[in-house]
Chains A and B, each alone.
Chain A
């Protein structure tokens, strides 16, 4: 047997699932797609006393259009996100990011919400949730609550989720019409974890960049929103000089780790190169969307 012993609960409802978590004495785990949890259980890095399988809970596999947001339920698989017409139409930057997520077989099983909960610093979902001002929907036996993604993601493989809580959905804010976007990622092999990635949203009004949003991953303990860099570009014209200047600021603000795959210097260089490309692409797309007279 690869995993350590656990009690298995096939949850029939969200209420059933969180009751089982509450009864686990603090080390219960939710099983959704299992594409990150099961490897850790096979290595016995994670040994839950109770495993709560949510795969049979009805209606969690939906992507729905709410007021200004797309809501992704806890059983929305990566393949569904990648193929969904609402995602492609309303949040094209997420549609683009999905092409980089793992491999065909893993995408069949892995879930958006599960990846956000796993909070791997080199995974796309936490980063995209930060970029899109995500809201996390959380249930427990004590009721329900919501939390902004930037409060939810607190470190490498660490979230603000309590032991008796599960994530039931993530809301992603739909960018305004005409918002420019870009997604850039570099990994050593297609579908592998990224060495670095960046996603950018940018509106253009009166020839100036507005509502700039920049998220990165692979360069710190968690995915990041780069608020200082966003502010530095806000209200400026999208010129090469402006982009070079904010990229220099971005590189100076990063303190990536060295590891087997890349040195800190290389990661910083890579982050700068990807960000420079993404900023220019987002600016170009924003201009096209507004169709302003030349």
Chain B
């Protein structure tokens, strides 16, 4: 018998209750059970960063998290950042600076950067690059992503 449980969690502000297998990854739960396919699945072992989401306000690899662990948690995914015609500020900065080409890695970058802007100083390009180093992009060469984050960090100002 598969070990199953009912979980209740908040995803992008909406409360969701579902029965899940214990071994279901949060990444697959978001994509298959909730239809939130904006969270991308690349390596599925925590290296590429494409599946990054926010778990209780901090970035986490959804491929290294079980859905059952998120029972009671607050999850934010790329769908919560904005929508077509009403982009969030991180999405808009990526558009302005051409911070993507194919777009596969982009949701993970956007969520990591959301964590960075909330919690990290980002005073220098070195700090920005270090904070981005867990997300892999094979198109851009990163420069335009760094440009986008630099603009966002300056607009934000110092952390209080």
Residues in A lying within 8 Å of B, measured CB to CB: 1-8, 10, 31, 34-35, 38-39, 42-43, 51, 53, 55, 79, 102-106, 108-109, 189-191
Contact = CB atoms under 8 A, between A and B. Distances in A.
A38 B46 CA distance: 9
Given A6-B23, A42-B64, 4 more contacts: A3-B23, A8-B5, A108-B60, A191-B130
B61 interface: yes
Contacts of A51: 22
Contact of B69 (A42, A43, A55, A103): A55
B64 A34 contact: yes
A85 to B, nearest CB: 16
B146 interface: no
B36 interface: no
A106 B63 contact: no
Nearest to B134: A103
Contacts of A39: 45-46, 64
Contacts of B63: 2, 38, 42
Contact of A108 (B3, B45, B59, B68): B59
A34 B65 contact: yes
B133 interface: yes
Interface of B: 2-3, 5, 21-25, 28, 44-46, 49, 52, 58-61, 63-66, 68-69, 112, 115-116, 120, 130-131, 133-135
Contacts of A55: 69
Nearest to A8: B22
A38 B22 contact: no
A236 B45 CA distance: 48
A4 B21 CA distance: 11
Given A1-B24, A189-B133, A106 B120 contact: no
Given A1-B21, A104-B120, A106-B46, A191 B64 contact: no
Given A1-B23, A190-B133, A104 B46 contact: no
B134 A105 contact: yes
Contacts of A102: 134
A1 B5 CA distance: 16
B76 to A, nearest CB: 13
Contacts of B61: 35, 105-106, 109
Nearest to A105: B59
A7 B59 contact: no
Given A38-B65, A104-B116, A105-B60, A191 B23 contact: no
